[in-house]
């Protein structure tokens, strides 16, 4: 059955292209990744906030991790929370809140259940992209995939230092994303669909409400 499919397909490809088995390839076409837009600083933060909000995200600027915690708590308004094990989230004091705050899971199954049941997911972010208002979530020990996906509300804590100009700067800084993580996700606004009569509906499968608390 499938045995031999590889050889047959590669064989046809080589014949069609007139290439030999094991033949190398020239370098891919050269071009430069140009980083545009404001450099690090308040203007870049402003651009990120503007673009993030243009996509119906809600951005909040705070001066410290503690303030970020207070802001998050205000948004959560007593609802159940799943929080990721990340230093920024910890510094914001989320784990010390009283009420239903779940974190530090012994098994993947527990984590999964918490993400499926809680109203709000609080995460950090590996990077943010100013020109598209994007959060970049790289899965890792402190960054599960489901915390920013299953709860209907997502709150991301964004230290100013992780805000980059755009995708070019990200890929210059992390040219081989696969080396550090098995999953890098760009999140650009709340989950949405326009599949019925092109009418925009938010929160189809992912969060319909997304907040970025920028710590400057």
Partner 1 sequence: MKGQSSVPQAGIESTLGDARLQLAIYTATGRLIDHRKKAVSEEALPDYQELRRIAHELKRHTIENLDYYLAQVERKVAERGGKVVYCEDGAEVSRFVLELARARGERLVVKSKSMTTEEIHLNEALESGQVEAVETDLGEYLLQLAHERPYHIVAPALHKTRYDVADILTGSLGVERETEPEKQTKIARGVLREKFLEAGIGITGANFVVAGSGAVVVVENEGNARLSSSAPRIHIAVAGIEKLIPRARDLAVFLKLLGRSATGQALSVYTSFLAGARREGEADGPEEFYLVLLDNGRSKLLADRDKRESLYCIRCGACLNHCPVYRKIGGHNYPWIYSGPIGAIITPQFHGVEQDPWLPFASSLCGACAEVCPVKIDIPKVLLKLRAEVTASGARGGTERRVFRVWAWVMAHPWWYGVLGKMAAALSPRPAGGGWVNKLPGWMAVGPLGSWLKERDLPPPAEQSFRSQWERRRRGA
Of residues 26-55, which lie at the interface with partner 1 (CB under 8 A)? 26, 28-29, 31, 33-34
Q: Which of 39, 74, 106, 198 binds partner 1 (CB under 8 A)?
A: 198
| Listed residue (107, 109, 57, 111) closest to 82, CA to CA | 111
Q: Which of 25, 39, 74, 98 binds partner 1 (CB under 8 A)?
A: 25
Q: Kindly state the number of chain residues that form the binding site for partner 1, as judged by CB under 8 A.
A: 73
CA-to-CA distance for 213 and 216, rounded, in angstroms? 10
CA-to-CA distance for 169 and 200, rounded, in angstroms? 31
Using CB under 8 A as the binding rule, whether residue 106 contacts partner 1 is answered as no
Q: Which of 19, 41, 42, 87 binds partner 1 (CB under 8 A)?
A: 19
As a whole number of Å, the end-to-end CA separation of the chain is 59
The SS3 assignment for 98 reads: coil
Q: Which of 8, 39, 77, 98 binds partner 1 (CB under 8 A)?
A: 8
Contact present, 61 and 45 (Cβ < 8 Å): yes
The SS3 assignment for 26 reads: coil
Site for partner 1 in 116-145 (CB under 8 A): 116, 131-132, 134, 139-141, 143-145
Site for partner 1 in 52-91 (CB under 8 A): none
For residue 142, count CB atoms less than 10 angstroms from its CB and return exposed for 0-12, middle for 13-18, buried for 19 or more: middle
Using CB under 8 A as the binding rule, whether residue 167 contacts partner 1 is answered as yes
Using CB under 8 A as the binding rule, whether residue 161 contacts partner 1 is answered as no
Nearest approach, Cβ of residue 138 and partner 1 (Å): 9
């Amino acid at each position: 059955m499938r045995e031999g499919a590889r050889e047959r397909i590669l064989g046809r490809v080589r014949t069609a292209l007139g290439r030999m088995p094991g033949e190398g390839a020239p370098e891919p076409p050269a071009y430069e990744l140009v980083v545009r837009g404001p450099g690090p600083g308040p203007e870049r933060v402003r651009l990120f906030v503007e673009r993030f909000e243009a996509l119906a995200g809600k951005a909040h600027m705070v001066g410290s991790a503690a303030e970020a915690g207070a802001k998050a708590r205000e948004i959560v308004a007593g609802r159940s929370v799943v929080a990721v094990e990340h230093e920024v989230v910890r510094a914001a004091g989320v784990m010390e809140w009283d009420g239903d705050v779940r974190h530090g899971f012994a098994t993947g199954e527990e984590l999964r259940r918490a993400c499926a049941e809680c109203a709000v997911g609080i995460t950090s972010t590996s990077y943010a992209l100013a020109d598209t208002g994007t959060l970049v979530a790289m899965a890792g020990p402190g960054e599960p995939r489901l915390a920013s996906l299953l709860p209907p509300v997502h709150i991301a804590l964004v230290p100013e230092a992780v805000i980059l100009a755009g995708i070019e700067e990200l890929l210059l800084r992390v040219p081989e994303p696969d080396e550090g993580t098995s999953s890098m996700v760009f999140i650009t606004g709340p989950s949405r669909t326009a599949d019925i009569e092109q009418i925009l509906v938010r929160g189809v499968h992912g969060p319909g409400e997304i907040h970025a608390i920028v710590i400057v």
